[in-house]
Homo-oligomer: A and B are copies of this chain.
């Protein structure tokens, strides 16, 4: 059994590659839910949905997030009521949030609802939210008068377009959260544990902040292989650079290696970063060089194969 720690789009593309080289049923993904938020009264789980839609082959191939062929009739209609519509929820996507919200209100856990949604899309891998409790990423940024302001992840990322300078990052509720059923067990029994090429601060970070996760990963460090989301000194997509810099992490694969060094024995780095391999290894992490830019599912499959072979 293979277990992967996953954030959003980068993880989704990597997992699609992974299920091209191993049976999908052999894969368990533990997915970040600290970016979950409520819009128009609906519970939205951006990372879970990115993974589901991508594994179902239904994600928008250009944007990377959301569903292919979306319309925005509901969102546009909400403007009449003065609703904030900067978080672009498509009509097809809204059905998922309606279903999730109703099930949660009925008392179902996010684990149960995630499994139901994945099944509805024909996803054969097991998707586990990191926790069934509410954990929420908070981005502390510089306010106009010099006073720090706390933003929710989507507020900073989507509404503010990552412009406010980040001072700190926290995960509200993580310290008292309990890993979702199966999470620690999957990590303990996995043949290989993959850390997907996701934002190390706000995608993988929240998973590691769930009590027990970091400890079991540390105890299985030799079976853990990560894929650096930083290539040539910049994230492949998303705002990892701004967040890493704010936390004093060097924006290179060596910085990623140092961040993961306690929990990850091997890091796959991109060919363009081959010269940084000695600095990765200086952090006590074995460096494996591969093509990490997932331009197609085939490249992603090759990357997944390389990652698996690195700890075979």
Chain B residues with CB under 8 A of A216: none
* Known contacts A71-B73, A73-B71, A73-B73; is-contact A80 B95 (Cβ 8 Å): yes
Residue from B42, B74, B98, B105 within 8 A of A92 (CB atoms): B74
Chain B residues with CB under 8 A of A77: 91-92, 94-96
Chain B residues with CB under 8 A of A80: 95, 120-121
A95 near B74 with CB under 8 A, answer yes
Chain B residues with CB under 8 A of A274: none
A98 near B74 with CB under 8 A, answer yes
Copies assembled? 2
> Size of chain A's interface in residues, with CB distance under 8 A?
27
Which of A91, A96, A98 has the most chain B CB atoms closer than 10 A to its own CB?
Answer: A98
CA distance A78 to B74 in the complex (A): 14
A176, CB-defined interface residue at 8 Å: no
A91 near B78 with CB under 8 A, answer no
Chain B residues with CB under 8 A of A73: 71, 73, 91-92
CA distance A77 to B83 in the complex (A): 23
A41, CB-defined interface residue at 8 Å: yes
Name A38's closest neighbour in chain B (CB-CB).
B102
B81 near A40 with CB under 8 A, answer no
A99, CB-defined interface residue at 8 Å: yes
A117, CB-defined interface residue at 8 Å: yes
Interface residues of A (CB under 8 A from B): 40-42, 71, 73-75, 77-78, 80-83, 91-92, 94-96, 98-99, 101-102, 105, 116-117, 120-121
Besides A40-B102, A74-B94, A78-B99, 7 other CB < 8 A contacts?
A42-B98, A74-B98, A77-B91, A77-B96, A83-B95, A91-B91, A94-B94
